[in-house]
Structure 1
Amino acid sequence: MFSTARRWLRRNKTPIAIGVGVVGAGYVVTQYVLNKINDARERMSSERISKENLRRRFEQNQEDCTFTVLALLPTATTNILEAMNTESITLEIQQMKSTKGVRGGESNGPPPSIADTTLTEEEGRSMASFQSDSGVHASQVVATPSTTSAPSTSEGVQQQQPQQPVTAPKKKSKRQLWDDLTISAITRSFTLIYTLALLAMFTRVQLNLLGRRSYLSSVVALATSTQQATISLENHDDDNADQAYGNDFDTNRKYLTFSWWLLHRGYADIMARVESAVRTVFGSLSPRDLVSFNRFSELTMQVRKLVEGATPQQRQEAEWLKFLLPPRDKEDEVIRESGVLEENPAQQSQGSHSSTASLRRLLDETADLIESPVFSHVLTLLLDAGFSSLVDRKLANEAFEFPAPSEGGILVTDNSELKHTQHILLPKILSVLTRQAHVIGNGVPNEYLQDMEKVRDLEAFAAVVYSSNWQNEVREEGLMDSAVYVEKPSETSSGKSAQADSSVVLADNQQSGLEGAWERAIEKQA
């Protein structure tokens, strides 16, 4: 039996060897293919997790931007409302009319003005709304220099200025007060819209730049095996701010305090520019004038052209940087006024050079972003949304009483004819604008900010800031000193770049400019 088996093996030695080789080769190939498939699955899974984490971090960053704007806006609103106290002018008009009513009418006097006749009922409504909005009552109005006098007791002063009377300055007429009210009400509401839009843009730039630094730091830490797990969504609570926006807490805190400039200095320059445009456009209007909706919309557009620019080229060249960032010689003043330097004076000498260099890079990149055409384009869209909310919705519904669209967006009646034919008195428009100024600055929820954040290009702009210039960021911050660099273009979703968990993946440098990244983000949204 054994001899028979040996003879059979000798006769079939070659086919058996071939069969064993084929089976062995097939096993090896199968194991190789299975290993490659498993590696591909793990790589795809890790990339999917990284993309999801990046998306969650980006979305969380945008929510932080919204809350930051809502926290900072009341400061600017308070300053603007104090600078242009429309309610005090209204109360002065009301007091003047009340005083005239006590004295009684004179038949030989001039004909009654618009404030004495057709505006009586409307002024009553305006006064009620003004007092409810601002909490200011007639008894709380401080006497102005026009109603009080402070005669000098020094004879020397009287001799030096013999031509100046010691009596009180002449009080403004009712027409002058109405002119002041017109300029104040319109300027204040328009200034708040500009301030809100600029604050939203500036906050997006700041937090997304810091969010980008935080993300790159976490990726590099993972690449150098300092983290055992994949990139996770970090806590963005106040007690974990250093992890949420990078490890250089001192630099980040100083950088974030530069919003102080817009809230305390920049708003005044914006208000001056807006007031000049409003005086040019609305200065010829009288409280007796009847204004149509289309007429007011045209005048508003004229103001915007004077402030922002009449052509696309002029809008791109508009100088917004001086409203958002201080000159270099005043940067230390901003940090000092915000209280950062006074909190830790002992730490100012430690690492001051590196902190200043890092802060300088952040400020320079912020300035480049603000001066870019993309910033002006997105800002124009935000202003379009803000003015549309004020004029096309609030003013149309409350002042002109146009029918509001239904939930499905269908108008009950066509308002196009009413916009041409219906005319209302200017004071009624001013009353709505005065109330809306408080809504723009202190509304909860803030409908104007919500409308601005619905602009899709704002998220695309934030994504560009978050995902662009990663190579320079890593190189300048020295993050790659101990990490292995693996260049690998990553696909984006709505402008957001993904990172692999085992290597540092940077943005494609074929279009490293901001405009190129912006075009890619818009293409992804289309």
Structure 2
Amino acid sequence: MIGATRRWFRRNRKGLAIGAGVIGAGYLAAQYVISKISEARERMSLDRIARENLRRRFEQNQTDCTYTVLALLPTAAEDILDALPVEELTKELQRKRAERLARLSAAEGTGSELSSVSPSLPEDDRRSLSSFQSDGYIRTSQSGESPVEGDGEVRPKRNKTQLWNEVKITSITRSFTLIYTLSLLVIFTRIQLNLLGRRNYLSSVISMAMPPTNESTIRLEDHDDDDLTQTFGNDFETNRRYLAFSWWLLHRGWKQVMNEVQTAVTEVFGPLNPREDVSLTRLSDLFLEVRRKVEGRTEEERKHRKWLSYLLPPCEEEDKLLEESGVLGVTESAASQTASTLRHLLDETADIIESPTFVRVLMLLNNECFQMLIDQCTADAFRSTSQTPRSVPQSFTSVATVVPGGDSFEPKAKLANVLAVLARQAHVIGNGTNAPNLYLTAMDQGVRELEAFAAVVYSSNFDAELIGSAIKKESSGEDAPGSDTVLIEREDYEGHDSNRAQQPSTAGSGADSEFEKAWGKAVEEQPSTAT
């Protein structure tokens, strides 16, 4: 039996060897495949967690942007309302009307005779003046009737026509200035907080990827590594100085906007009489004409419109800005590194502001705000008409599609009533304390390109940051940890321009740049609902 078995194995030893080899190879291959599948599954799980972490940070960043705008907006709104005191002009008009009634009363001698004369006064003036204060928007500082200005100078006397013309120009200028200031503040805040959010995110990822120096030591997770904070700018002093540059728009930039808007409003609305009837279509055309004078008449002019001077000061005034905003006080040892990191942030911010994408998103924000303003005028100034007011698109792209109807079907309202609506809407636009701000909400929810723009800013220059970190680590003989993790996570919001940090401000001519391509892809991929 044993001999027969030996002979069988001897006869089939070749086949058995081959079979054993096949089985062994199959087992090893199966183990290899199983290990690779397990490794891929683990990597996918880590990738999913990283993506969710990046998405959560990004969404929280956008929420922070909204609250930051609400906190900063009253600073500029208060100054704009003081610089363009519509309510004070209205009080003066009412005072002149009261004086005129008093003179008529004295001339007639009796109250009964006054009642027969007062109806002869223009009814439009009474209605318009009352509509300016229907919502109680009278500032405490403007409630006095002293003819002396705050600086001690006597105010020049103006007749009723001059006062009405000043009310007309001031009301429109104030609302338009607030809209432009709000739009600029929204997009500038998105740039600032998303740039800082990106740098802080990279710093935290690399810090967590670094192995602890002592495994047996229990320590808190503070991520306060000197090299990382210097490389990525994740330090309090740099962030504080960078965020202080919003001071320029809140105290200087809006004045430039106001001067340009006032000039345009005077040219467009100057010939109109406040008692004149205006249709909704004509009002929209007048608004658009003012916007063309401010933003640019053609698509090419709007594309090359420069907004940098409204948002950032000239280089020679940066130190003065930091002094005015009260953020100076860093120690000498950290001053050079802070200045270098701050310079990098400001240069990148200037590149983004000068890009065509910035102008495009800003125009969409303005479209949304002016459409809201037209809707409010439609609801308030035209509500007394017999016909239901028709909403007229208030944007550069849609105005050509508006086909005005005949005069008999076109709702009309007194221009004075429209001015009253604009005077009240100025307080709504500048509202940063009472929730919600309708115009800010309209921009957040109606302009999906704003979130796409923020996503591009948040995810841009990831490679440039990593290159800078790698160079710094190589110079100290260390490796740059965590780079693979960052490169995987940056794909969640597709968009980087590795050359922007190293080149001067040339984004204005980069319609085909990586930044533009990333923005286009972000517009396609971002959901329609804003955070």
TM range (shorter): 0.7 to 0.9
Partner of 1:483: 480
| Structure 1 residues 403 and 60, CA gap change in structure 2 (3 angstroms) | farther
| Structure 1 residues 33 and 512, CA gap change in structure 2 (3 angstroms) | farther
Partner Cα distance (1:114, 1:493) in 2:
71
Quote the offset at 1:295 in angstroms: 1.1
Partner Cα distance (1:418, 1:219) in 2:
64
Partner of 2:178: 192
Partner of 2:443: 452
- Check conservation: 1:495, 1:524, Cα contact below 8 A: no
1:401-446 CA-to-partner distances (Å, cap 9, x unmatched) read 175899xxxxxxx996689632211110011101100000115201
Partner of 1:394: 376
- Please list, as runs of the form range in 1=range in 2, the aligned pairs for 1:213-252 lying within 5 A after superposition: 213-225=199-211, 247-252=234-239
Is 1:376 paired with 2:344? no
Partner Cα distance (1:199, 1:148) in 2:
31
- What is the one-letter code of the residue matched to 1:90? T
Partner Cα distance (1:299, 1:397) in 2:
18
- Please list, as runs of the form range in 1=range in 2, the aligned pairs for 1:75-224 lying within 5 A after superposition: 75-104=75-104, 116-129=122-135, 132-136=136-140, 140-145=143-148, 171-224=157-210
Quote the offset at 1:223 in angstroms: 4.2
Partner Cα distance (1:403, 1:73) in 2:
34
Partner Cα distance (1:197, 1:147) in 2:
31
| Structure 1 residues 475 and 185, CA gap change in structure 2 (3 angstroms) | same
Structure 1 unpaired stretches of 5+: 151-167, 229-233, 236-241, 407-413, 498-510
| Structure 1 residues 28 and 475, CA gap change in structure 2 (3 angstroms) | closer
Partner Cα distance (1:354, 1:419) in 2:
69
The alignment's TM-score, normalised by the length of structure 2, stands at 0.80
Partner of 1:514: 515
Partner Cα distance (1:381, 1:479) in 2:
40
| Structure 1 residues 246 and 101, CA gap change in structure 2 (3 angstroms) | same
Partner of 1:503: none
| Structure 1 residues 226 and 57, CA gap change in structure 2 (3 angstroms) | farther
Partner of 1:357: 340
Partner Cα distance (1:256, 1:269) in 2:
21
| Structure 1 residues 324 and 388, CA gap change in structure 2 (3 angstroms) | same
1:349-390 CA-to-partner distances (Å, cap 9, x unmatched) read 121111101000100111111111111111001000000000
| Structure 1 residues 177 and 135, CA gap change in structure 2 (3 angstroms) | same
- What is the one-letter code of the residue matched to 1:101? L
- Check conservation: 1:55, 1:496, Cα contact below 8 A: no
Partner of 2:316: 329
Partner Cα distance (1:480, 1:127) in 2:
63
Partner Cα distance (1:37, 1:339) in 2:
57
Partner Cα distance (1:49, 1:13) in 2:
53
1:246-305 CA-to-partner distances (Å, cap 9, x unmatched) read 632110110001001111111111111111111111111112211111111111111001
- Check conservation: 1:292, 1:424, Cα contact below 8 A: yes
Structure 2 unpaired stretches of 5+: 109-116, 216-220, 223-228, 392-402, 474-478, 497-511
Identity of aligned residues (%): 46
Instruction: Name the Cα RMSD after superposition.
Output: 3.4
Q: Which residue of 415, 424, 428 corresponds with 2:417? A: 428
- Check conservation: 1:211, 1:246, Cα contact below 8 A: no
1:188-246 CA-to-partner distances (Å, cap 9, x unmatched) read 00100000000001001101111111122223334444599xxxxx99xxxxxx9xx96
Partner Cα distance (2:413, 2:352) in 1:
43
Partner Cα distance (2:210, 2:40) in 1:
22
Instruction: Determine helix, strand or coil for the equivalent of 2:332.
Output: coil
- What is the one-letter code of the residue matched to 2:43? R
Quote the offset at 1:522 in angstroms: 3.1
- Check conservation: 1:91, 1:127, Cα contact below 8 A: no
| Structure 1 residues 170 and 81, CA gap change in structure 2 (3 angstroms) | closer
Quote the offset at 1:145 in angstroms: 3.3
Partner Cα distance (1:312, 1:5) in 2:
94
